[in-house]
Amino acid sequence: MPTRILRFVRRSAALVSTAALLTSLSACGTDATEQRTQVLRDKIAQKIMLDLRYFCPDQQRNEENRGRCGEPVTELPETLGQMISDTGIGGIILFADNLESTEQIIALNSDLQSAAAGSHHGSPLLIGIDQEGGRVHRLPRAEATAFAGNMAIGATYPLHGDRFAGETAAAMAEQLRVLGFNVNFAPTLDVNSNPENPVINVRSYSENPEVVAELGVAAIRAFQEKQVAATVKHFPGHGDTSVDSHTGLPRVDRSIEQARAMDLLPFTRAFEQAQPALTMTAHIQYPALDDTTLPAQDGEEIVVPATLSRRILTDLLRGEMGYEGVIVTDSLGMAGISDYFSVEDAVVKTFAAGADIALMPLKIRFPGDIAQLDEIIDRAVQAVQHGELSEAEIDASIARIDALKQRYIDTSWIAASAAEKLEAAAAVLAEPKHAQLAEELASAAVSAIYPPADGVLPVLDADAKRIQVIAPSPAVGEAFRLALAGVTGATVEVLETHTALDKLQEATGDVLIVASIVPGESAVELGGMEDLGRLRRPPLPLDELYGVYERSLAVARERGQKTVFVSMRSPYEAAQFQRLADLHLASFDYKAYIGGDDVFEGPIYRALALALVSEMVPAGSLPVTVQPAEGTAVIEATSEG
């Protein structure tokens, strides 16, 4: 085994043992005060996990670029490699922008570990990723099979139990492991009890906490049996919110009894039955769990966010619930924290609350930004020296992080040659059973939101000669066209939302399909906070978009066309169109692989196409309640398959 790898095994305990490291440094003649400061810096650095999403090595932050850098880090710049070696930070999280191909991902992760091995303590990195499935998928879709997400899995639960939760997690873990990842920030255990939730939504398994718990436990076990550390999130529960914590600070107003019965239940079961390696905090206010206030940076007194709450992270999570794993914050760059606290204060406050790892406390986009990392570390060191942070608690935290690394970092992967890594990855990523599993999940997940109108099935019968599809984007439209071409010989015309009504008036068809992706993608689904510019500029305002849908469906029905409304993201919106469509379908997914000028329909499009030619109601069952349109009788929202 290479010397650098052995250094981790032999010396990582030194981060916990101050005396051992002091002795080592004393042998070099280092001043005792400097020795102690260096020990504390090493400990704090291990508790920081950064993203390296973009970096502009030849620029500086200024008015001209407004602090924006758009150069994805796909190869490790020397400057960032030196930063990792010099500071000895504990982890890195990568995003889709960092990940282009198998060979490139392996090279990047190998270089990251090499840089970490160059630090004076030589501890390897935790390398994490948000690979939830569905909307939150970071690996290149051209090379790694993508699976529908949690709510799609929830729709399969009545017929398939926890099968898809466990099998998709195992497949994702196999993919991640051979590429050099050791931490996955999944699964989401939030119970989506609020239909207006903009950020959790279909990332949740269900509105039923018992279902969320069972499926979450299956996923955790599968990830960790395949030696990838699972992360349950977002503690204590982000499901009953109507604000995205990327853009604001949500508040949950449940009673303590409701909290235990709903939001906390899946976490309790997960801790008891699956021992997840990490738990991620939520940037939410939850007064029933902690109603204390603290001053924000503008002087306003606010209810403490869970990420900064000692009552929630230490007293509840560690004390009452007995959690012994690593607590990691959600990104500290999200508005739920960054709008209220400085970077340095947020890091100190979350460590004081009981968090082990501060995730993404700052953006390093230019060489000059690196100095702020030193400032964050120095501020936390001073907090220990002044009694604001307990060094004993820091040591306990480092012990947990070290245990996590010992269990999940694959030193044999780090030591392997590039050729060995590529060979192993090629075998896993080309595994046919992964693609088959994705097809089976998509087919099992498609659900009828309301019972279909009499005589509408199959939608695409021998009389269907012309199909019109109103699609929210060209890629979605092309994916529909390709999938429909596989099941029918009818002509398929894709209509853009801006011109759909004009096109419908020019030419009629036999079937109109309206595909909707509402609400729009949240920041985490787009990739991160830096994508919010795209998030805030939708093609059409929602009221205009829905107006197009309503008028188009009404025109088609007046002409005698069959009408289908497909909720490809959130099924709740279907109530607005209940009277206008003969069939309402929920797919919980809309992702299609897009490569250059090519578009390949994903499994969900093939599953939808098959549902449209079937005489049977789709097998999926809605895992959330969709209310009927106003003025109509209450309709059972789930089918029994």
Q: Single out the catalytic residue among 330, 356, 402, 582.
A: 330
Gap between the Cα atoms of 528 and 78, Å rounded: 24
> Would strands 301-303 and 229-235 be described as parallel, antiparallel, or unpaired?
unpaired
The burial class, CB within 10 Å (0-12 / 13-18 / 19+), for 558 is exposed
Tokens of 358: 């501060």
Q: For residue 214, give the nearest of 260, 257, 170, 165 by alpha carbon.
A: 165
Q: How far is CA 272 from CA 80, 214, 220, 276, 340, in A?
A: 40, 12, 12, 9, 35
Question: Under 8 Å CB-to-CB from 414, ≥6 apart: which residues?
Answer: 5, 110, 113, 117, 124, 180
Gap between the Cα atoms of 147 and 164, Å rounded: 10
Question: Under 8 Å CB-to-CB from 159, ≥6 apart: which residues?
Answer: 444, 619, 621, 641
Tokens of 467: 């199909």
3-state secondary structure 399-411: HHHHHHHHHHCCH
3-class DSSP state of 231? strand
Phi, psi of 376 (to 5 degrees): -65, -45
Whether the Cβ atoms of residue 356 and residue 314 lie closer than 8 Å to each other: no
Whether the Cβ atoms of residue 487 and residue 460 lie closer than 8 Å to each other: yes
Gap between the Cα atoms of 102 and 126, Å rounded: 19
Q: For residue 145, give the nearest of 460, 428, 411 by alpha carbon.
A: 428
Phi, psi of 97 (to 5 degrees): -60, -25
Our answer to whether residue 461 is catalytic in this structure is no
Tokens of 348: 């100190």
Whether the Cβ atoms of residue 189 and residue 232 lie closer than 8 Å to each other: yes
Place of tokens 């996990």: 49
Angle of helix 150-160 versus helix 163-179 axis, rounded to 10:
140
Helix boundaries (H) for 322-472: 335-338, 343-353, 370-385, 391-408, 411-415, 418-429, 432-445
DSSP 272-338: HHT--SEEEE---B-TTT---EEE-TTS-EEEPBGGG-HIIIIIIIIIIS---SEEEPSPTTSHHHH
Gap between the Cα atoms of 619 and 152, Å rounded: 12
Tokens of 550: 């309503």
Q: First-to-last CA distance in the chain? A: 54
Helix boundaries (H) for 92-236: 102-117, 150-160, 163-179, 209-225
The burial class, CB within 10 Å (0-12 / 13-18 / 19+), for 82 is middle
> Would strands 593-595 and 598-600 be described as parallel, antiparallel, or unpaired?
antiparallel
Tokens of 430: 């080309």
Could you list the active site residues? 330
